[in-house]
């Protein structure tokens, strides 16, 4: 069992933790152990996460060019499958996970199944699985035949479950020299988020819709997100208007989020938007229309103007933070 793992400065990202949990359970159904493929050099926190999710072997893959390049990554996974003797390759259902696994399927001529919720080997020959279709509004039960299967995991439908006792993870280096053409698609430049919280993995998301009114109207939302350590997510009306990039879109044709808190401001709650935030634990919405569909999905709703309420929230949170900082300062014996 081989799982492609994505990580950032804080270690293994949430969607990959979910993929690891899924892969471990699938492996258990065929008696196979869990190996992880990590592109590049991993940090101590990434290694600790792998141990806590039951990874017995971690392959640090070094490619001749150290950037995201989907075909080169796929080439490495195809090669690693034989090294590990894996009967399945699993990745998170992220943009990268889907892209890389589609290339793995093309290179190895194996079928790939996306957005799985559960999967079990049956007699070592077929995999019985359920997966999301139509943006999660339909669950498909399917049987996949083949000596090896390629699966991505619905990031909003599978829980991240560490093992009771972390295992000892053996780290192995794996070097590959893909051809020049394998890097024909690769990341050339990063723009935008600038190292902030990733939308797919954020614990808090501040969302903005057409009700925000303009590109400039996002200023207070950005400020609020910064205060809360949150990512900003938007509706398609906002990306279509060119106020924000598509990378920030939440929904069926955008990113799926599963934060602890989603604060949706001036978003109506169209089904295609809700498809991307159905696994948010708590939803608070701000809308001038008390009949907007989002209100029936929300735990709390504030009926009012986003351009009044968000700046007021920013002021209140700033005041609370500075009171706390003063309290800590005055109780500090060194002061
Ligand atoms: C195939 C397909 C895929 C799609 N995929 C996606 C997707 O991935 N993500 C997505 O978001 N959409 C998607 N859509 C579009 C979706 O159907 C909606 O059109 C879109 O979500 C609407 O965005 P919105 O809620 O920002 O805008 P609107 O529907 O215009 O809603 C704006 C809301 O803001 C409120 N409002 C207005 N002014 C204020 C104010 N001052 N203060 C507070 N509230 C205010 C209004 O009452 C309203 O509820 C898709 C559509 C199709 C057909």
Residues forming beta bridges with residue 249, ordered by sequence position: 234
Q: What is the tens place of the pLDDT at every residue in 165-210?
A: 999 999 999 998 889 999 999 988 776 555 567 888 899 999 999 9
Residue carrying the six token digits 């498809």: 275
The candidate with the shortest Cα–Cα distance to 52, out of 76, 36, 37, 31, is: 36
With the most atoms of ligand 1 within 8 angstroms of its CB, the residue from 217, 246, 266 to mutate is 266
3-state helix, strand, coil in the chain (%, to 5): 35, 25, 40
Residue 6 makes CB contacts below 8 A (sequence gap 6+) with 12, 13, 15, 16, 92, 94, 96, 97
Q: What distances in angstroms separate CA 201 from CA 61, 126, 175, 255, 264, one per listed residue?
A: 23, 32, 29, 10, 17
What would the pLDDT profile of 247-276 be if each residue is shown by its tens digit? 999 998 898 898 999 999 999 999 999 999
Single out the residue of 185, 188, 186, 178 nearest to residue 64, CA to CA: 178
Cα 128 to middle of ligand 1, angstroms = 37
Report how far ligand 1's centroid is from the alpha carbon of 92 (Å): 27
257, containing H or E segment: none
Q: Angle, to 10 degrees, between the axis of helix 218-228 and the axis of helix 306-331?
A: 30
Mean pLDDT of 5-10: 90
| Cα(249)–Cα(73) distance, integer angstroms | 26
Residue 134 and residue 127: Cα distance in Å, rounded?
Answer: 21
More confident residue, 178 or 49: 49
Cα-to-centroid distance, 289 and ligand 1 (Å): 13
More confident residue, 40 or 9: 40
Q: Is 268 in the pocket of ligand 1 (CB under 6 A)?
A: yes
In this prediction, residue 333 has a pLDDT band, given cuts at 50, 70 and 90, of very low
Q: Look at phi and psi of residue 94 and say left if phi exceeds 0, alpha if psi is from -120 to 50, else beta.
A: beta
Q: Looking at ligand 1, which residue's alpha carbon is closest to its atom 38? A: 211
3-state SS class at 318: helix
Q: 307 CA distance to ligand 1 centroid (A)?
A: 17
- Among 124, 131, 162, smallest CA distance to 146 is for 124
Q: pLDDT at position 191, please?
A: 66
* Exposure on the CB side of residue 179, measured as CA atoms within 13 A: 1
Q: Is the pLDDT of residue 142 over 80?
A: yes
Residue 335 has pLDDT above 70, yes or no: no
d(CA 158, CA 256): 13
Q: What is the spatial distance between Cα 134 and Cα 122, in angstroms, rounded to a whole number?
A: 26
Contact 288, 268 (CB under 8 A): no
- CATH number for 204-330 (one of 3.50.50.60, 3.30.470.20, 3.40.50.1220, 3.30.450.20): it is 3.40.50.1220
pLDDT surpasses 50 at 299: yes
pLDDT at residue 322 in the model: 86
Ligand 1 atom 15: residue of nearest CA: 236
Given this model, what pLDDT does residue 77 score? 97
Structure tokens at 157: 């439908």
Enter the pTM of the model: 0.78
- Domain 2-183 - what CATH class? alpha beta
Atom 39, ligand 1: which residue's CA is nearest? 211
Q: Give domain limits for the chain.
A: 2-183, 204-330
- Average model confidence (pLDDT) across the chain: 92
Both tokens assigned to 244: 């924000």
Question: How far is the CA of 150 from the CAs of 4, 159, 160, in angstroms?
Answer: 11, 20, 20
User: Does residue 332 register a pLDDT over 60?
Assistant: no
Q: What does the pLDDT look like over 97-123, one tens digit per residue? A: 999 999 999 999 999 999 999 999 998
pLDDT band for 330, please (50, 70, 90 cuts).
low
CA distance 64 to 76: 11
Query: In this model, does residue 331 exceed pLDDT 70?
Result: no
**CA 297 / ligand 1 centre spacing (Å):** 15
Residues 123, 43: Cα–Cα separation, whole Å: 38
Q: At residue 253, what are phi and psi to the nearest 5 degrees?
A: -105, 20
């Amino acid at each position: 069992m081989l799982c492609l793992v994505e990580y950032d400065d804080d270690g293994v990202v949430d969607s990959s933790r979910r993929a690891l949990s899924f892969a471990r359970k699938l492996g258990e159904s065929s008696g196979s152990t869990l190996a992880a493929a990590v592109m590049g050099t991993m940090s101590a926190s990434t290694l600790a996460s792998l141990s806590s999710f039951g990874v017995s072997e971690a392959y640090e893959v070094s490619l001749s060019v150290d950037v995201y390049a989907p075909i080169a990554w796929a080439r490495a996974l195809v090669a690693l499958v034989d090294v590990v003797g894996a009967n399945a390759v699993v990745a998170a259902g992220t943009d990268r996970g889907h892209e890389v696994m589609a290339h793995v399927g093309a290179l190895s001529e194996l079928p790939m199944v996306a957005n799985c919720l559960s999967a079990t080997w049956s007699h070592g020959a077929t995999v019985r699985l359920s997966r999301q279709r139509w943006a999660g509004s339909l669950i498909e039960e399917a049987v996949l035949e083949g000596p090896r299967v390629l699966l991505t995991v619905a990031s909003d439908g599978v829980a991240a479950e560490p093992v009771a006792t972390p295992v000892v993870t053996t780290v192995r280096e794996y070097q590959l020299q893909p051809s020049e053409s394998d890097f024909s698609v690769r990341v050339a430049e990063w723009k935008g988020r600038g190292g902030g919280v990733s939308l797919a993995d954020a614990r808090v998301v501040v969302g903005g819709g057409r009700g925000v009114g303009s590109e400039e109207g996002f200023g207070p939302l950005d400020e609020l997100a910064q205060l809360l350590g949150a990512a900003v997510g938007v509706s398609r009306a906002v990306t279509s208007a060119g106020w924000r990039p598509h990378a920030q879109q939440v929904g069926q044709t955008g990113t799926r989020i599963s934060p602890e808190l989603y604060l949706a401001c001036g978003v109506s709650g169209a089904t295609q938007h809700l498809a991307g935030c159905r696994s948010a634990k708590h939803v608070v919405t701000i809308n001038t229309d008390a009949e907007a569909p989002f209100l029936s999905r929300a735990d709390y709703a504030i009926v009012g103007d986003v351009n009044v309420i968000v700046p007021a929230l920013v002021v209140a949170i700033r005041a609370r933070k500075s009171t706390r900082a003063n309290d800590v300062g005055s109780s500090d014996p060194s002061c």
